[in-house]
Structure 1
Amino acid sequence: MLKAYKYRIYPNREQALLIEKHFGCSRFVFNWSLALQKRYYAMFKKSLTRTQIQSQLVKKKKKAKYAWLNEVNSQSLLNALLNVYTAFTGFFKGSAQFPRFKSRKIPQRSYQCPQHCTLDFVQGVIHLPKLKGIKAVFSREFVGKVKTVTISKTATGKYYASVLVENDEVLPTPTTIEPNLTVGIDLGIRHLLTLSDGSKFDNPTHLAKAGKRLAIQQKIFARKHKASKNYQKQKLAVARIHEKVRHQRLDLHHQITHSLICENQATSYALEDLGVKNMVKNRKLAKAMSDTGWGQFVTLLTYKAKWYGKNILRVDRFFASSKICSHCHHKLERLPLSVRVWTCPGCHARHDRDINASNNIRAQALADVAGLATA
């Protein structure tokens, strides 16, 4: 099984300078490789192979003009080439979007070390190629083989090391899907999620609560001159507010998903296959939807369910879960978002919009599973 562990690292001045060089060189090689691929495809209507790109990079590093590429780990540069090759070929296979050039203006940066990385939990340091003895805070230890280490820097200037580890654990076999142990989950804005058993989890709206403080700091930031030091200081102040909101949202999602997976007798969870990227195009609800972090929540719930041998069932995104009566299956022609409680004209049952939707999602997911089983 592959697991990732993320640790905060504290490089000294020399180490931080070399890390920044890795960021810059990896970005340069990525952009150079992407431009090379685009030119070659425009001329010959086919892509360069990994070997061809690597040979071009070797020739480039031998030139005096690009001698600074030899100051960083060569495997990190090859990994940047691999990222371009994977993204470029994945685009033509329909499994990825077309890769874009990386900008040096984006404060979030990263590079990857695919080999020769070790962690010393006793000394509290990480050893990387050309970077030895980086101080780290290990919140937890692990047993396994280190596959890759990704060094990243946030917009607030914090450095992290994400360690991908291969251990001897085996993913458990998913349990049998049983109707009485299946829970329907309806994701929403007012309530982050509503379960088919009637329980609800409120949405704390972290971004909305930080909105007033963020507006003040952004107003100050807009008045700064880009060439001044105060511009960078205020930019950092704005980034810290966004970082706190992101951490609050992530912590909440971890708590809820842990509660659902580890403290719940359910073995299957039914969800709608939401198209979040399309939904946030609604300019009236985009900010509120983004504040919920639906995509992040589903990602956490999915991998935790795999760890514990539980099932995630998907319902088609176009399924009208809110408009259908969960008792008699009567379907309304329209149901505005402002209507939170409605009465079925067929059986006169009174429904809470979200609870009714979660029940319909659960029923539809079980029906889909039964249909696949009999096919």
Structure 2
Amino acid sequence: MLLGFQTAIKLNNQQRNALAKHCGVARHAWNWGLALTKNILDHNKANPQDKIKFPTAVDLHKWLVAIVKPECSWYYEVSKCAPQYALRHLAEAWKQAFKKGKKPPKFKKKGRADSFTVDGSLAVDHFRVKVPVIGWLKTYERLPIQYQPKSFTFSRTADRWFVSWKIEVEPTHTPKLVGVVGVDLGVKTLATLSTGQVFEGTKSYRKYENKLSRLQRLNRHKVRGSNNWKKAQIKIARLHRQIANIRRDRLHKLTTYLAKNHGKIGIEDLNVSGMLANRNLAKAIADMGFYEFHRQLEYKCELHGSEFVVVDRWFPSSKTCSNCHTKKETLFLSERVFKCDHCGLEIDRDLNASINLEKAVS
């Protein structure tokens, strides 16, 4: 089983500049390819009788070498893999958009989600990695050296750089303490299990919201592009990174606990994008990280030998009585205690839903 491995890297100023150059070339190749492909689509739409074949990643790279590289000599200062992978990712993004799976790709902006991918003469040592053109880069932690990667992906968050690659991990079947469990995700509490356990969310955004608002408010009065403005941008990005890390740490610990100790886990297929459309709850829902919880739990169940079951989103887990299975016609979000008019059961709303999910997957 292949899993992604990511670690922070130690850099000097020369290495930081080299990584930034690679990001700039990859971004330029992406934006150039995106502009070209959009022009081709517009031409085909306006002239259906004279259509131009939509280019593949190989076609885009050939045109890049013939047209762009002679005019942009700085392309030769970085690894040739950076623009190649950028165009591959662009072709894949268009493929997903044509299948209606995702939205069409957008132009990239400097400083936002900077990343690039390289392959070739790569190497992993105990505390360093080797990259073409740049050379050896030190890391803060000991690295898994038993699996040599085929490619490296570098990314930047605030002022910190990370390198990631795929490693092969053997699935381990751990002994399970509970056979079947239902997990209900909520806004008030992150997860409620059918066993009665309740896991609170970190609500990290809510905790640092005032501090973030203050930094953004102070940044408004600085001249855009000035040194003080750049310093303020880094402070804001660091705080965003801290908020995301706190949330991600909580989700990792909870999903690992569930996958290791439960044989069969049932959760509801939530329409997260639809839930985020509710402006009254969007901030609280995003602060919990429902999609990330689902993603982590899915691959960790496979890793630890547990069964992961997703119940249909139209299953009335909250409206159905877990005792007599009578379904309520309406149930307001403000009703935190489920009261059954048929059998008289009074139970916490989230616990009732998790018990119904457990019964649905049993």
Relative to the length of structure 1, the TM-score reads 0.89
Which of 339, 349, 355 is residue 353 of structure 1 equivalent to? 349
Gaps of 5+ in 2: 44-50
Structure 2 contact 125–143 (Cα < 8 Å) conserved: no
Aligned residue in 1 for 2:222: 224
Equivalent residues in 2 for 1:132-147, closer than 5 Å: 132-147=135-150
Deviation at 1:209, TM superposition (A): 1.4
Aligned residue in 2 for 1:59: 66
Does structure 1 residue 50 correspond to structure 2 residue 57? yes
| Matched AA of 2:278 | N
Q: Show structure 1 runs of 4+ deviating over 3 A.
A: 169-175
Q: CA 1:246/1:139 → structure 2, altered by over 3 Å: closer, same or farther?
A: farther
The one-character-per-residue Cα deviations of 1:258-302 (angstroms, maximum 9, x if unpaired) are 22222x2x2111011112112111111111111111111221111
CA distance in structure 2 between the aligned counterparts of 1:26 and 1:10, rounded to whole angstroms: 22
Structure 1 vs Structure 2: percent identity of aligned residues? 32
CA distance in structure 2 between the aligned counterparts of 1:190 and 1:46, rounded to whole angstroms: 52
CA distance in structure 2 between the aligned counterparts of 1:276 and 1:232, rounded to whole angstroms: 34
Deviation at 1:45, TM superposition (A): 6.1
Aligned residue in 2 for 1:32: 32
Equivalent residues in 2 for 1:186-335, closer than 5 Å: 186-262=184-260, 264=261, 266-335=262-331
Equivalent residues in 2 for 1:164-203, closer than 5 Å: 164-165=166-167, 167=168, 169-171=169-171, 181-203=179-201
Deviation at 1:171, TM superposition (A): 4.6
Query: What secondary structure is seen at the aligned counterpart in 1 of 2:334?
Result: coil
Aligned residue in 1 for 2:47: none
Deviation at 1:92, TM superposition (A): 1.4
CA distance in structure 2 between the aligned counterparts of 1:184 and 1:46, rounded to whole angstroms: 50
CA distance in structure 1 between the aligned counterparts of 2:198 and 2:277, rounded to whole angstroms: 26
Question: Is the deviation greater in 135-144 or in 329-338?
Answer: 135-144
Deviation at 1:228, TM superposition (A): 2.9
Q: CA 1:227/1:78 → structure 2, altered by over 3 Å: closer, same or farther?
A: closer
Aligned residue in 2 for 1:369: none
Gaps of 5+ in 1: 367-375
CA distance in structure 2 between the aligned counterparts of 1:129 and 1:202, rounded to whole angstroms: 45
Q: CA 1:170/1:229 → structure 2, altered by over 3 Å: closer, same or farther?
A: closer
Which of 160, 163, 188 is residue 162 of structure 2 equivalent to? 160
CA distance in structure 1 between the aligned counterparts of 2:210 and 2:96, rounded to whole angstroms: 42
Deviation at 1:231, TM superposition (A): 1.7
Does structure 1 residue 87 correspond to structure 2 residue 89? no
| Matched pairs, number | 354
Q: CA 1:240/1:105 → structure 2, altered by over 3 Å: closer, same or farther?
A: closer
Structure 1 contact 79–114 (Cα < 8 Å) conserved: no
CA distance in structure 2 between the aligned counterparts of 1:47 and 1:173, rounded to whole angstroms: 47
| Matched AA of 2:222 | K
| Matched AA of 1:127 | K
CA distance in structure 1 between the aligned counterparts of 2:145 and 2:289, rounded to whole angstroms: 29
Aligned residue in 1 for 2:8: 8
Deviation at 1:243, TM superposition (A): 1.4
Aligned residue in 2 for 1:364: 360
CA distance in structure 2 between the aligned counterparts of 1:116 and 1:207, rounded to whole angstroms: 41
Q: CA 1:147/1:223 → structure 2, altered by over 3 Å: closer, same or farther?
A: same
| Matched AA of 1:223 | H
Query: What secondary structure is seen at the aligned counterpart in 2 of 1:95?
Result: coil
CA distance in structure 2 between the aligned counterparts of 1:365 and 1:115, rounded to whole angstroms: 46
Query: What secondary structure is seen at the aligned counterpart in 1 of 2:135?
Result: strand
The one-character-per-residue Cα deviations of 1:143-201 (angstroms, maximum 9, x if unpaired) are 1131221111112x101111223x3x5557999xx9x7111000011111000111111
| Matched AA of 2:166 | L
Q: CA 1:51/1:259 → structure 2, altered by over 3 Å: closer, same or farther?
A: closer
Structure 1 contact 341–351 (Cα < 8 Å) conserved: yes
CA distance in structure 2 between the aligned counterparts of 1:242 and 1:174, rounded to whole angstroms: 35
Structure 1 contact 7–139 (Cα < 8 Å) conserved: no
Query: What secondary structure is seen at the aligned counterpart in 1 of 2:150?
Result: strand
